[in-house]
Structure 1
Amino acid sequence: MAFTGFETRAIHAGQEPDPQTGAVVVPIYQVSTYAQDGVGGLRGYEYSRTGNPTRAALEECLADLEGGSRGLAFASGMAAEDTLLRTIASPGDHVIIPNDAYGGTYRLFSTVSSNWGVKWDAVPLADPEAVRAAVRPETVAIWVETPTNPLLNVADIALLADVAHDAGALLVVDNTFASPYLQRPLVEGADVVVHSTTKYLGGHSDVVSGALVTRDRELGERVAFHQNTMGAVAGPFDSWLALRGIKTLAVRMDRHCANAEQVVAALTHHPKVTEVLYPGLPEHPGHKIAEAQMKGFGGMVSFRVAGGEEAALRVCAATRLFTLAESLGGVESLIEHPGRMTHASTSGSPLEVPSDLVRLSVGIESGSDLVADIEAALETA
């Protein structure tokens, strides 16, 4: 019997009980090498950089949840991005990225890929005509975040897939903020989905890992070759932690979304907040698109504080439940100042974020407690 429910597949895809022991959870195969039945007589694995049973279970599960043909797990989200970029782009090639990309992605393009000859342009991806105008004959990919980090802009995945494919390019979507529970870019026409599995997929702020899923198996095999060659793979314990997190992804995301809506409702009426950035708001410019391609609007919220940067910094320092920290997507709520923290690498560039911006990763605590905490902190602004 084929099971179609997301919650069922998150718990069971790639995770059959262990055939030798009956263990209902995939074991941690903390091993580097594997015995062979004669030279070349493999029992499925030879060396854990190339393949590991725990990592293989995670990769199969991710491919299933995203609706792709091949999943690959890496040591971090940035390792996944770097490996993909080195697979699909060569010196002289061109990539379009968001004009409000995550700071680490911007740094990868601006200081790493540029040094080996890959050209790039930062474009507002919510404007399809701007994207079409930026396409060149040497464009090999349009690199999308939706919603974006930290400005929560939304891009139309299906429309950008058409733009990319008309140009003979790939559409790559960073699905970290939404997770496959809320959004499935491959179904919308994307070619590759990228994740920092550190975030919502892991969900407990206890693992650093990344992943990507390809729609096309041949592309997946090319990336797998580079994964093995470059070696930034997810270890077995990290893979096990990510698998454990995925089992509760659906119920966690429902709570993240519900709590975010409570926090947004409080922020939109607060006199010390000048703007709330959240795709669930009807006035958000990408609301209709998000409504069409997402199951929910997510747990990430950004807002701008009256009084500028110093007021924003005071708010970040004053919360008690929202922990001042980088990263996102864990069960606990986090607060940060992107300009000084996660997006400091964009300072002085066209991608620099507003200095009065605060970003929240809304956790799964009591929603009323979170609202009370952020309202108290805003009194310091």
Structure 2
Amino acid sequence: MECSGRFRLLKAALLRAGAPNYRLNQLFQQVYRRKVTAVADLKVLGIQAQSTIEREFGSDLLTLKCASISEAPRATKVLFECKDGVRIEAVALKFSTHTSLCISSQTQLVHPVRISAEWAGTRVSCCKYLRVIEQKLPENEAATGPINLCMCCLAGKIGFKRQLTVDEITDQVLYFQSKGVHPGSISFMGMGEPLMNPRVFDAIKLLADPRAFGISARRLSISTSGVLPGIKKLNEEHPQVPANRMYPFPEVLDLLDERIALTGRRVWIAYLLLEGQNDSAEHAKALAALLRERRIETRHLYHISLIAYNEAKGVSPSLRRAENKRLELFEEILDNSSISHSRRHYFGREIDAACGQQFAAYDPDNKRLTHDMSATS
């Protein structure tokens, strides 16, 4: 409860109104366990507390609102607008066994922001797209995007504006739950580099808190480009949460070895295949050799997740999806090398909801909204 800025403000408001302490616990249960966010539906709190909340917080407790919804077979993408007008996206992916949510942690650039070395960010998938393309940030420079921007991704090209708050992160989940979606897993794979946002750690605490969302930490996954301070902090604070990792890759692998030794759990390495750039037999052999060089007690717990590139408007036309036969050859080489691997499912390409396509209705070339959208319920 202490992780939520919203509930700290609600607690202060209820105390000023003279409401008894148990009202806040009732409110917490209503919002997180019963998924009630409309103030008009919080009748269990009593008229006085309900009126206080509506007067100070408005008609709905969510920190963001739905601006539009896009549907595709097995995928639903929601464009959210935060209270200051910035936009983010989240996607629900419907697998045969469960629904997975892909949520965002940062939003688009307006002004450069200085990056603190201590910023960081739960299950670990590694090296967002294995650094196929990277834009290095000079030391002590202000960032105009997530560190080591992946320019094959629309969110990376748009850049960075600000960190999302704990409530803005978790309210993406709360919104879907309030609509009857019960996620079996949640991935920090939307817009932003989660390990560059220190609030992600508190969001993890709130999502895993049995009094709140009560989602097992093993069902939470962080996809990162490999922010070393964040990986270290993740190892210390949330060893039970999986992570994905863009710093010097040998150092990243060393930290991943430590994580595997600490948790005994598998680490997924996402490998994005681009035609003519990293999809050859030589690349597959080099990747297999890289993993075979790991410690004997940890290397069997590395898993390669092969991702076919999803083309997106505004990204360099020189970046193309690898041919299926190249992907199959890649898989064959990994098989022959006894490297655990799988091919990433891709849902929602037709609504720009697949990996690398989320851009929250911003034009990646001028970082403005591509069009206005009126809010819908």
Same-fold call, TM cutoff 0.5: no
TM (norm. structure 1) is: 0.29
